[in-house]
Amino acid sequence: MSNNYDEIIEKAKEFFRKEIAPSHIANTKKLTKLKQFNLNPFLDKYKASFLTGNDDPKSIAKALVYPRVLGTSINTTFGNKLQKFCSEVLEGFASTTSGIDIEFIDKVDGRRKYCQIKAGPNTINKDDVETIKGHFAGVKNLARTNNLNVGFNDLIVGVFYGTPEDLSGHYKRIAQEYTVIIGAEFWYRLTGEEDFYQRLTDAIGDVASEYDGSELMDKVITSLAKEIEKSLDPKQLDVEVREIADGKGTYDV
């Protein structure tokens, strides 16, 4: 241990093990039932065939499960856990100001920064731009009433990963008024270590090797495929149609 920030590295690894991975696994386990998905009958078989070359139930199941587990599920989980990450792993820096995720002393210019955290360079949309600006305007007002010296260089958006070139147009609109700091630069200002970003991503990369979800994926897909097979059975469909006609079936409007 060469310095205090090694502790952040360790805590980040723990956070991944205790928060992110378990949540991801739990959400994956939910996917054994067809009702967890929004089906698109125009595309379900096409996707299965595109993926595996056939449209049997198992292929359809794979085509549903893969994009969910490796896409929206883990990405959304990661983003949602960011707030918690800020308060637990960056605990020394948690902010009590509404709309501000963390406060920290910028190791480059020595000033206290009021920072909103975002995950990546593409993760805000048009509406978020005004929301973020609104939050900063609120902080400026609050600072004025409390006689705090908050310049607008001190109100920043911190992005966990990416490079300045990656920033979407939405971020660039914020950057016209405020400072947006991303990736290596963000972690440098936070910790004062130039290579902290690299060390942190490497550390999480090490944790990744502790996880092998192949068996779980197999189980989930097999189970889901069984239900797909049943629902494709014409007799079963007949029953459902009759029940709906009788008003017995569950039929969401």
Q: Which residues bind DNA (CB under 7 A)?
A: 23, 27, 30, 37-38, 40, 68, 71-73, 75-84, 118-120, 122-126, 128, 168-170, 172-173
Least Cβ distance, residue 158 to DNA (angstroms): 12
The β-bridge relationship of strands 102-105 and 155-159 is unpaired
Least Cβ distance, residue 24 to DNA (angstroms): 8
Least Cβ distance, residue 1 to DNA (angstroms): 30
Could you tell me which residues are beta bridge partners of residue 113? 104
Sheet hosting strand 112-118, strand order edge to edge: 102-105, 112-118, 155-159, 179-182
Q: Which is nearer to DNA, 187 or 193 (CB)?
A: 187
Query: What's the token pair of residue 153?
Result: 């260089």
Least Cβ distance, residue 171 to DNA (angstroms): 9
Least Cβ distance, residue 6 to DNA (angstroms): 25
Write the CA distances from 246 to 32, 234, 236, integer angstroms. Answer: 28, 18, 15
Q: Which is nearer to DNA, 58 or 81 (CB)?
A: 81
Nearest to 77 by CA among 33, 135, 127, 15: 15
Q: Which is nearer to DNA, 84 or 144 (CB)?
A: 84
Cβ proximity of 164 and 179 under 8 Å: no
Q: Which is nearer to DNA, 38 or 149 (CB)?
A: 38
Write the CA distances from 120 to 78, 79, 179, 241, 252, integer angstroms. Answer: 11, 9, 15, 46, 36
Q: Which SS3 state, helix, strand or coil, does residue 113 take? A: strand
Q: Which is nearer to DNA, 126 or 235 (CB)?
A: 126
Q: Which is nearer to DNA, 36 or 222 (CB)?
A: 36
Least Cβ distance, residue 144 to DNA (angstroms): 24
The β-bridge relationship of strands 179-182 and 102-105 is unpaired
For residue 103, the surrounding DSSP H or E stretch is strand 102-105
